[in-house]
Amino acid sequence: METDADQPLGIPALPDTTAGQGLFHELDTLLRSGVHVQAAHPEQQHLMPYLRKNEAALIAFYRDWHMGAQLQHRHEEPHRYYFLEPPASSWAQAGAAFQRELEAKHIIVAMLLCKVFLIDLQKPEFESVPALMHLLEREYEDYRDGLFRKLAQVMDKRETQLDSESVQKLVGQCLSLFKDLGWLCRTAAGGWRVLPALDRIRDLYQNEIRAMPDRFKAAS
């Protein structure tokens, strides 16, 4: 019978050592790559029983073996998501490993998705970038106009220089980036699903977001 002493150094002990190590390494790779982990993500659901059962041990592991990094979560089930927060005292060394810096244009698109899908509609799926833009034109004209306006500002362009095609291309690039962060995922039909972890944008960039006028309208 295996004991805690038989476990590789630093890896939380599990009843099933072989299976536990595999799940640990998969979870650890995601977290240290800046990915947010949640039950709402179909490709991460198999990790959640392990994470929930060993949450205290994992918190201790990252605190003791990764310069005081913090395994944190936001919200309650079924919207809970987990991530690694770098320690403030070691931000320069650890931050790059656990978090990815986003540009202003990425923040704008992320906040738009938050407003439309997590707050207003509370229906987190859309078929494609063109379908998203059509939704904005049909139901959220203020948001669409604000999106063009804010993107033009941060990209140092005139609003008239941004056409629908270039904005759709940028939005598509943002969706791919957010997918890598665990903020979005693809649906079985090939569309997009906005995940609860997209809400993390409001933690990471609260100062930048406070400076954005509500509903993406220009300040009067």
Q: Quick one: 111 exposed, middle or buried, by C-beta within 10 A (0-12, 13-18, 19+)? A: buried
CATH of the domain at 126: 1.10.10.2260
The answer to whether residue 141 is domain-embedded is yes
pLDDT in tens, 91-104: 445 444 566 789 99
Residue pair 47/14 in contact (Cβ under 8 Å)? The answer is no
Q: What is the mean pLDDT of residues 37-57?
A: 94
Q: Which of 112, 124, 137, 131 is nearest to 186 (CA)?
A: 124
The pTM of this model reads: 0.84
Same-domain pairing of 36 and 94: yes
Same-domain pairing of 119 and 22: no
Of 67, 98, 129, the one marking the end of a domain is: 98
pLDDT in tens, 127-169: 999 999 999 999 999 889 889 988 988 888 887 778 899 999 9
Confidence class of residue 110 from pLDDT cuts 50, 70 and 90? Answer: very high
Give residue 98's pLDDT.
62
Whole domain around residue 179: which residue ranges? 104-216
